Structure 1
Amino acid sequence: MRTLGGGSGWTLQPHTVAWVLLPLYAYLRALPQLRPSGWEAARFVAGVGGLFTALISPLHVAADTSSFLLHVIQHMLLQMVAPPLLLSGIPRQARARLAAHPGMVRAGAVLLHPLVAAGAYNAVLLLWHWPLPAGHGELRLACGILTDLATRSPVVAVLQDILPLVAGLLFWSAIMLAPPLSRSAPPARVAMLLGSMVLNWLLSFSLAYADTPMYATYAGTRPPFGLSLLADQKLGAGVMWEHGNMTYVVALVLWLRALLRQAGTSVPSGPSLPLHGPRT
């Protein structure tokens, strides 16, 4: 992807910067009405920081051009780190307003259905990384969309970067939000986390045990830290396994704690994950 900024590797296209700064702008505009707690505001800003690191900082260019390890870090930021932080930074009042809006409830019933949210989330994870050749005996052209369209079209390139974030927001909204926004029953939410954990395990181990590099994008490049292409790929698979499993385990622990806290109460679709921290 073409960058601006004097060859420094920073990605400063207006559309990419807008994607990152728009949530922060909307949040700041809503501060006087919503009055988030200090913890909520800190988590939301941290989520925006994750977007900034993944899409604007030099990590973005390096992930696209020189290192599978850095690509995995970028992808984890977009799909597993930024979405939960952004969601947990939404104040209670804002969630209550969304839950009172019939259109948002109807949209949530479709987009946050377990099959839709988990399907989109894991489809992006697999399509972006599965180590199958793009043609007869060829390596995959890139991590992401299976063709070279992203190198020829700025629109496709932006979609390739944004889709993991959108899929992550759907998945974590279905897990974290309370009814009526997310109507997923407790067993469905647990199944989403466990199923995604198993899929992440299979994908990361298939990459870790590969005998040769899988991605043509990085052929002929020099990965960071003096790593070989194969070592860079294996280390990236290790980060995918460790961070992915840790994220799902933490989410499961928080979910079970929320269930125990609400044991004995009548909750039609189960509690949400705790989205609020201590009030300041």
Structure 2
Amino acid sequence: MDQVYCGPPPTPQTLAWAWQYDPVAIGLCIVLVALHFRTGGGRPAVFSLGIGLLALLFLSPLCALTSALFAGRALHHVLLIAIVAPLLAMAYRGPGPARTLLPLGWIAVLQAGILWFWHVPAVYERAIVSAPLYWLMQLSLLGSGYLLWRAVLDRRQPTGTVLFVLLGTIVQMGMLGALLVFAGTPLYAAHFGTTQVFGMSPLDDQQLAGLIMWVPAALPYLAAALYRVSLSLAEPASTRRAGAWFG
């Protein structure tokens, strides 16, 4: 098999030292910092947290772990779309997404399609060994997640639509996770020979990945839904659609 983008699979003994120097990831962070300040540079603490976590995803041993465990890849993707993306969205100060982007429903469909596409086994196995495909995967996941969170966090969006989209996102991610958990055989050949040193069979690894996408991945979306409901209940009806979290 070709070399995986994040390097050779580590062992439990070498994982702590498996830091990466990835100029593409560093360049991406620099570009995002420049764009952030060009658009107003709001909420520096939130933005710094988002960029710092983004850098860790691609430079820390977690990147190397994705070469060995599909569960590591699942955790990587969940952190990218459900933690980094909303942090960057909350830090943005600019025109509201309700005026500039696709309708929220179409953004949710786009994000779901991208997520499922990159987890098709044949597509996944090509993406992790090709630098262009690898970064297309990462950027499309981050970009679609960012668009979704910007729209969801905009209080000009109708509360009912936002809740429906958040619920739909939880359901479709849960379905993908359930498919991985209940598959009778391992699906990702790239990890057939790399999980045993971590005390797992390829099927165990795949099931753990499914659980990550099924349960923990849903929590940020559930928290956003509960927060949106609490805001809606606390505001007078005449002002429930006014304002934005990006102000």
100, 103, 114: which is aligned to 1:107? 100
Contact 1:120–1:167 (Cα < 8 Å) also in 2: yes
- 1:16 CA drift (Å): 2.3
Structure 2 counterparts to residues 118-197 of structure 1, below 5 A: 118-130=108-120, 140-141=121-122, 145-146=123-124, 148=126, 151-152=129-130, 154-179=131-156, 184-197=157-170
Unaligned runs of 5+ in 2: 11-16
State the distance in 2 between where 1:229 and 1:149 align.
Answer: 19
Contact 1:259–1:270 (Cα < 8 Å) also in 2: no
- Is the alpha carbon distance of 1:47 and 1:224 closer, same or farther for their aligned partners in structure 2, counting shifts above 3 Å? farther
Contact 2:125–2:188 (Cα < 8 Å) also in 1: no
Alignment-mate amino acid for residue 33 of structure 2: L
Residue by residue over 1:229-265, the C-alpha shift from the partner in whole angstroms, topping out at 9 and shown as x without a partner, is 1111111111111212212210111110111122332
SS in 1 for 2:237: coil
Structure 2 counterparts to residues 222-237 of structure 1, below 5 A: 222=195, 225-237=198-210
Alignment-mate amino acid for residue 119 of structure 2: H
Residue by residue over 1:93-125, the C-alpha shift from the partner in whole angstroms, topping out at 9 and shown as x without a partner, is x34xx35xxxx77532x3xx1232101111122
Residue by residue over 1:195-216, the C-alpha shift from the partner in whole angstroms, topping out at 9 and shown as x without a partner, is 1111122111121112221111
Contact 1:185–1:270 (Cα < 8 Å) also in 2: no
12, 15, 22: which is aligned to 2:21? 12
Alignment-mate amino acid for residue 22 of structure 1: V
Unaligned runs of 5+ in 1: 131-139
State the distance in 2 between where 1:106 and 1:275 align.
Answer: 14
Name the residue aligned to 1:59: 62
- Using structure 2 for the length normalisation, give the TM-score: 0.82
Residue by residue over 1:24-77, the C-alpha shift from the partner in whole angstroms, topping out at 9 and shown as x without a partner, is 3454x569x76x5xxx332221111221122222322321x2101100110011
State the distance in 1 between where 2:57 and 2:229 align.
Answer: 31
Structure label with greater radius of gyration: 1
The RMSD of aligned alpha carbons is 2.8
- Using structure 1 for the length normalisation, give the TM-score: 0.73
Q: Is 2:234 the partner of 1:261? A: yes
- Is the alpha carbon distance of 1:2 and 1:54 closer, same or farther for their aligned partners in structure 2, counting shifts above 3 Å? same
- Is the alpha carbon distance of 1:105 and 1:194 closer, same or farther for their aligned partners in structure 2, counting shifts above 3 Å? closer
- Is the alpha carbon distance of 1:3 and 1:77 closer, same or farther for their aligned partners in structure 2, counting shifts above 3 Å? closer
Name the residue aligned to 1:134: none
- 1:82 CA drift (Å): 0.3
Q: What is the number of equivalent residue pairs in this alignment? A: 236
- Is the alpha carbon distance of 1:48 and 1:223 closer, same or farther for their aligned partners in structure 2, counting shifts above 3 Å? farther
- Is the alpha carbon distance of 1:124 and 1:224 closer, same or farther for their aligned partners in structure 2, counting shifts above 3 Å? farther
Q: Which moved more, 1:10-19 or 1:234-243?
A: 10-19
Alignment-mate amino acid for residue 197 of structure 1: I
Name the residue aligned to 1:213: 186
State the distance in 1 between where 2:139 and 2:220 align.
Answer: 20
Contact 2:22–2:58 (Cα < 8 Å) also in 1: no
Contact 1:197–1:248 (Cα < 8 Å) also in 2: yes
Name the residue aligned to 1:83: 85
